[in-house]
Structure 1
Amino acid sequence: MTRTDSAESTGPLLTATRLRKTYGPTAALNGAEFTIDSGEIVAVMGPSGSGKSTLLHCLAGIITPEGGTVHYRGHELSAMSDAQRSKLRRGDFGFVFQFGQLVPELTCAENIALPLRLAGTNRKEAESCALEWMARLEVDDVRSKRPGQVSGGQGQRVAVARALAARPRVIFADEPTGALDSLNGERVMELLTTAARETNAAVVLVTHEARVAAYSDREVVVRDGQARDITSATAGIA
């Protein structure tokens, strides 16, 4: 396990308040709010260019908003040093991207072990953990192959295994099925959400597909730079 194990804070696991981020004259985020608890899966939806990926990057500390705050376990991300945020992304945060972003020169098993090795885990333990997750994600048969030698569905499952190997508290999944056919996409989502629930990890799931959002506990729509929890908004309608 490489995530930080300092004393637990009370309240939501991850919270964003009044986020603002612009690109030139365009406001990607304009007062966006967001919250997620441990073990919760939240789908972030919206049309292309609505700011949903920008919201994810702010929540993960990849980019710094021009206004507003992001708190993780009670600590403000913008108040952390670059080294502290990098440590979070190696341990507490896991990432799954649309095209996997695996290292082509490494085998699939080595790709999964890489974040663990960077976090200081010894080689034998990292490799053992990688093989365990490959078995759970049903890709142990491609352990010695490189990413270019496997199918898109297999590669994305390797990416999911890489994200889960460090047992992160939050998984950021940005269009994780966008490059897959419907059958492979469904299987990736089944494996991702099942593993996340087993480890009590929160999942921030950016998607534009309703069938993918259906795996979430609730849905947040980003539009005009703001985020609205549509699940809560419709829950009271009889």
Structure 2
Amino acid sequence: MTTASDQPDSTSGAPILTGADLHLDFGQTRALRGAGLSVCPGEIVAVMGTSGSGKSTLLHCLAGILSPKSGSVTFAGREVTAMTDVERSALRRSEFGFVFQFGQLVPELSIVENVALPLRLCGVKGRQAAVDAKGWLDRLDVAHIADHRPGEISGGQGQRVAIARALVARPKVIFADEPTGALDTLQGEQVMTLLTETARETDAAVVLVTHEPTVAAFADREVIVRDGMTRSGEIKAEEFAR
């Protein structure tokens, strides 16, 4: 069950996104058992847990990708769990940004076209979308690969591009699922620095799923997921090394 400790500090302001008492089963497996959390504008929350704990499932419910069996998800006063599939898709295009472990860039598109894609899906004309995309690539120090294809760039560069794509439409919430999982330590630190700094500059909330304490250290607050339930607090780093 979600407890008060899973909520932001009272000094953080009103939450922009809240998941409460979320339950979800995959067949006979209980993935979520009353999990939940809230995040405020500009706040970075690390969701930690071992493999199979339910942390990615929680993120997908908060993002409207999965529909929980019961419980509620509310974004900016609107109940996401009551929306239609079309409404949730529109929400993900206009208000949410995503960074995944392997970037998930479209291989057939150039880097600048990949970054511009969220804007194009929101109806921004091609020329303006490209200008905005190039601006974000320059901001993240990867403007020189704008005309490359995803298969021609490194993993670290790919994650910088993924961050640019996540931020180009200036979303209210960024969902980052193991964004450094495929990177070495140095690249991971660089990616997390860029992600957190640019999110704070745009006042975007970040829900960051990770099992790495060094990655979670970039967050303002940690929420632990265990057996489909959430709680806040410290936990020994070795518990996430398994």
Q: Compute the TM-score of the two structures, normalised by the length of structure 2.
A: 0.90
Is structure 2 residue 98 aligned with structure 1 residue 101? no
Distance 1:72 1:160 in 2: 22
RMSD: 1.0
Aligned ranges for residues 1-238 of structure 1 at < 5 Å?
11-230=14-233
**3-state SS, counterpart of residue 112 of structure 2:** helix
How far 1:11 moved relative to its partner? 3.1
Match of 1:3 in 2: none
- What is the SS of the residue equivalent to 1:106? coil
Give the Cα separation in 1 of the matches to 2:132 and 2:21: 39
1:5-26 per-position Cα deviation (integer Å, ceiling 9, x unaligned): xxxxx93101111100111221
Q: Is the partner of 1:39 in helix, strand or coil?
A: coil
Which whole-Å CA distance do the structure 2 matches of 1:220 and 1:89 have between them? 23
Partners of 1:84 and 1:118 lie apart in 2 by 14
Tell me, in whole angstroms, the C-alpha distance in 1 between the residues paired with 2:160 and 2:36.
31
Deviation at 1:67, TM superposition (A): 0.8
In the other structure, the counterpart of 2:7 is none
- How far off is 1:33 after superposition? 1.9
- Gaps of at least 5 residues in structure 2 are 1-12, 235-242
Please tell me whether the aligned partners of residues 223 and 233 of structure 2 are also in contact (alpha carbons under 8 angstroms): yes
TM-score normalised by structure 1 residue count: 0.92
Question: Equivalents in 2 of 1:12, 1:150: separation in Å?
Answer: 37
Amino acid at match of 1:123: G
Q: Which residue of 1 aligns with 2:6?
A: none
Structure-1 separation of matches of 2:79 and 2:115: 29
Equivalent residue pairs, number? 222
Deviation at 1:75, TM superposition (A): 1.1
Report the alpha carbon displacement of residue 30 of structure 1 after superposing the two structures with TM.
Answer: 0.2
Could you give the per-residue CA deviations for residues 27-48 of structure 1, whole angstroms, max 9, x where no partner exists?
1100112110000000000000
SS of the residue corresponding to residue 177 of structure 1 reads: coil
Shift of 1:225: 1.0
Shift in Å at residue 192 of structure 1? Answer: 0.5
**8 Å Cα contact 2:43-2:205 kept in structure 1:** yes
